[in-house]
Structure 1
Amino acid sequence: MIFQFEIVNFRSIRDRQILSFIAEKKKENVETLISFKKDKVLQTIALYGKNASGKTNVLKALQNLRKMIILSHKFDPASPIEFYDPFLFSDDKTLPTEFVITFEVNEKKYFYKISYNNKIILEESLFVYNSVKPSKIFERTGKEYSLSNEYESIRDLIERTHDNKLFLSVISQWVADKKEINDIYNFFKNDIIYFQNNYNSPSQNYRKKTTKLLTSDPNAGLFLKKIINYFNLEMNDIKADSFSIAFEKIPSDLRTFLESIQHLSKSKQTDDITAETIQSTYEINDKNYVLNFDEESNGTQKIYDLFSILYSGLNSKKIILLDEVEMGLHTLLAKQLIKLFQDLTINKFNSQLLFTTHDTNILDLEFLRRDQIWFARKKVQDNYATKLYSLATIPIRLSTNIVKNYIEGKYTVPLKFKW
């Protein structure tokens, strides 16, 4: 679970921007809130804004932090940090990027901060809230490290932590006996899922994950039928199969083509090739029909691509980052997808959904609380730097026509068109 995320100097974001999942003390849709000790936490946040306002960069920032934690222990010590992507409209490309996240793992609240430029990690700290006041696990400024008494035993791992590597990433590879560290690492590795649309072409990575899931987990097939019914896709089922073909049994002309593809030409010719089939089944007027899945609509294909995420997110606790939730979907389907996470009788594991959207049908105060609706804005007087803020910071009545106000630019920047 995420409570708060802060971003400084990343892509379109210059100054510190804070995205908070902590619910305001407002009596709006309280049945949708997650309880954590004394706090109430939002399970979904919608991020609105015109094109190029920086919405996706918020998701990318969280994904960058995740990748830094997962991968930096593998970085070549002599190489620059590839995840350094500073504010685009600045002449100084040496200023540090900073990410700060407050999150929960195993019913414990943590604070983690990193600051880095293209060459080195400048700051890194990890704290745990065993009480109201946070307690240090470790803190790092440049080459200076400070560890809690409990973690003094891992001090020798400082020598393995080169200037461009995160200490959290390094120690997680070496401290199998430190469950807390491993659980935090696995939270970032396994529990944050980023799905970015590729402009109506299917996400092959997640399509393969869905197919693998359906061919390995019988419960996934049952869950898929529930999803088909829930979204009223008007089909009986979707059948997926995966099988291997020995490389030498592939027709010679196709084998030659495959060998010409760079990433396959490096494999041994004895390697098997994995093939997949996906078919949708229908029963119409007592007759059965089977369609190749690529004949289905973009929306149906997107539901399939998203299925592994939905299955994981509704059967365990995850944080799902979904870019342009409505792409390829009917506006009511997009709203129903969000409702899966809004409804705590369905979202029993308290997964969270952070999504970007342009769909004003979702901009509904009977559906979302004011603190669930966020905006990204860029103005020329701010040097086109992204600003983030929620509708809860704007004084409005619950009866306000927020769709009309949003379209007119009253919450962000008015769109002006001229020829």
Structure 2
Amino acid sequence: MLMRFRVANHASLLEEQELSLVATDEHDDIAVTEASAAGVRVLPALAILGANASGKSNALRALVYMRRAVLESHARWLPDGGTSRVPFLLTAGGRAAPSAFAVDIVLDGVHFEYGFELDDRQVREEWLRSFPEGRPRRLFERSVADDGTSSYAYGPSFRGRRRLIEDVVRPNSLYLSAGAGNNHDILRRIHRWFHRGLKVALDANFGARIQETRRLWDKSEEYRDRLRGLLQFADLGITDLSITEEEWDDERVRQVRSAMRVLVPEIPEDEAFDVKPAPQIGFVHAAEGGPVTLDLHDESNGTRTWAGLLGPVVGALQDGSLLVVDELDARLHPHLAARLVALFQNREWNTGGAQLLFNTHDATLLAPHSEANLHRDQVYLATKDARTGATELTALVDFRVRDGVENLEKRYLAGRYGALPFFDEELLVGIGAKRGVDEAGQAARDEEAEREHA
């Protein structure tokens, strides 16, 4: 369960920004979870609104980058490949300063804080703390010198093969990643949260999300009923899913095995490993002559979007994990987007502490009548500093909004909270005037040409 996420110097986020899912108000109508280990109540959903290019997506992608660093830095990042970070590029200070990421999470009733700082080449600092009885307790701290040598400090409760982990961790990899890879109990638990407890829905991983739907479909009839129910609920004209597996002939299998040996030279020549195509997902429509199954690429963009969310949504609600969705409203009807949020907000549907973190342009989600039922402490606003171009994230509660009294949608669209695009009408006037001059000039030239022709 995520309580807070902090980031500094990633993409358009220059100064440290924080997203907090800690409830500041009492809520009896949404699925708030008691985090007794931290002495707080945690929200089931959090929305980020703002104008185009305000940094909404960057705030979510910062968390996605942190996840990727945890999961890949030890096993996949090349020793001399740096960190692939994306610092703030509009100032020299941003390009030179380290980037920082930190989360506060609750796992198995324990409050942990984990974070790290890194530059283009290597990790600079890394730490893990727990909070028994609300007081911080150091588990490990790491600092890396300019020459790549690391120094460590450990708390008395952090045991295990610490020396082995120190020996295998590289300057550009995380101690957490190396420790989890070497089966350290506490580090493996934190690593597992990033792997299984944090699901991501971006355009770039659409294929993986479709395969997640297929995996859940194969898991049990219970999952099939849930997936089928969400498809039918969306009123897409779809009654069922169809999973088919293509059969490859011997020659195709031989070609794929040969290609795999080129890509992975470590595979022994005499190893006849299994290869088969990924199952294909079809969508069953009710038709006059009987059910008709269409391929994914034959469906509308809205259907494809909803299909790509089925697996992550069902998985998150079942596992009690966090789902991060970039542009929730993209290609979805506002009512359907609101009902998706409601799946996480509703106590009857969300019984395991699942969370939804998303950005959107859809201000109707803030309306009093919306099924999303978002409260003031569930909304952040993204704005760009006019001078530096840096993103600032502001909690709606900072505006002293009265929860349940003010119409958040109406006031947001009226500009009471900012985070709206500014249109310079004079630019349009200038464009219109220039067009008028151009048209007048062309008319004069046409008239002159007609006289010469006559």
Matches within 5 A, 1:313-328: 313-328=316-331
Partner of 1:194: 200
The answer (yes or no) to whether the contact 1:212–1:242 under 8 Å persists in 2 is no
User: Aligned equivalents of 2:368 and 2:9: distance in 1?
Assistant: 32
How far did 1:136 drift? 1.1
Is the deviation greater in 319-328 or in 262-271?
262-271
Residue among 383, 391, 401 paired with 1:386: 391
- TM-score (normalised: structure 2): 0.82
User: Aligned equivalents of 1:378 and 1:34: distance in 2?
Assistant: 32
Partner of 2:8: 8
The answer (yes or no) to whether the contact 2:368–2:407 under 8 Å persists in 1 is no
User: Aligned equivalents of 2:273 and 2:171: distance in 1?
Assistant: 42
Partner of 1:353: 356
1:296 paired to 2:326? no
How far did 1:391 drift? 1.2
Partner of 2:345: 342
The answer (yes or no) to whether the contact 2:367–2:410 under 8 Å persists in 1 is no
Aligned-residue sequence identity (percent) comes to 25
Give the secondary-structure state (helix, strand or coil) at the position aligned to 2:178.
helix
The answer (yes or no) to whether the contact 2:198–2:324 under 8 Å persists in 1 is yes
**Cα distance 1:270–1:234, how it changes in 2: closer, same or farther (>3 A)?**
same
Letter in 2 for 1:400: E
1:402 paired to 2:408? yes
How far did 1:232 drift? 3.2
Greater CA radius of gyration, 1 or 2?
Answer: 2
How far did 1:94 drift? 2.1
1:144 paired to 2:143? no
The answer (yes or no) to whether the contact 1:408–1:414 under 8 Å persists in 2 is no
Partner of 2:129: 127
User: Aligned equivalents of 1:342 and 1:205: distance in 2?
Assistant: 26
Partner of 1:415: 422
The structure carrying a bigger helix percent of its residues is 2
RMSD: 2.7
User: Aligned equivalents of 1:265 and 1:290: distance in 2?
Assistant: 41
Letter in 2 for 1:289: P
Give the secondary-structure state (helix, strand or coil) at the position aligned to 1:48.
strand
**Cα distance 1:36–1:283, how it changes in 2: closer, same or farther (>3 A)?**
same
Give the secondary-structure state (helix, strand or coil) at the position aligned to 2:10.
coil
Partner of 1:160: 168
- Encode CA deviations 1:298-344: one digit per residue, 9 max, x unaligned: 22222221111022111111111001111111110010011000112
- Encode CA deviations 1:155-204: one digit per residue, 9 max, x unaligned: 31212222212111111111x3x432211111111211111136xxx922
User: Aligned equivalents of 1:284 and 1:8: distance in 2?
Assistant: 53
Partner of 1:171: 179
Give the count of matched residue pairs: 404
Letter in 2 for 1:409: G
How far did 1:153 drift? 4.2
User: Aligned equivalents of 2:79 and 2:133: distance in 1?
Assistant: 38
Letter in 1 for 2:127: S
**Cα distance 1:243–1:220, how it changes in 2: closer, same or farther (>3 A)?**
farther
- Encode CA deviations 1:138-169: one digit per residue, 9 max, x unaligned: 01122221012233543312122222121111
5+ unaligned residues in a row in structure 2: which ranges?
A: 145-149, 429-454
Letter in 2 for 1:46: A
Partner of 2:446: none
**Cα distance 1:99–1:266, how it changes in 2: closer, same or farther (>3 A)?**
closer
The answer (yes or no) to whether the contact 1:12–1:386 under 8 Å persists in 2 is yes
Partner of 1:36: 35
Give the secondary-structure state (helix, strand or coil) at the position aligned to 1:410.
coil
Partner of 2:376: 370
How far did 1:130 drift? 1.8
Partner of 1:71: 72
User: Aligned equivalents of 1:127 and 1:396: distance in 2?
Assistant: 34
Is the deviation greater in 327-336 or in 89-98?
89-98
Letter in 2 for 1:18: E
5+ unaligned residues in a row in structure 1: which ranges?
A: none
How far did 1:69 drift? 1.0
User: Aligned equivalents of 2:278 and 2:117: distance in 1?
Assistant: 44
Letter in 2 for 1:147: Y
Give the secondary-structure state (helix, strand or coil) at the position aligned to 2:216.
helix
How far did 1:244 drift? 3.6
How far did 1:266 drift? 5.0
**Cα distance 1:263–1:194, how it changes in 2: closer, same or farther (>3 A)?**
farther
- Encode CA deviations 1:367-413: one digit per residue, 9 max, x unaligned: 111010111100212x0100001111113344434323323433224
- TM-score (normalised: structure 1): 0.88
Partner of 2:335: 332
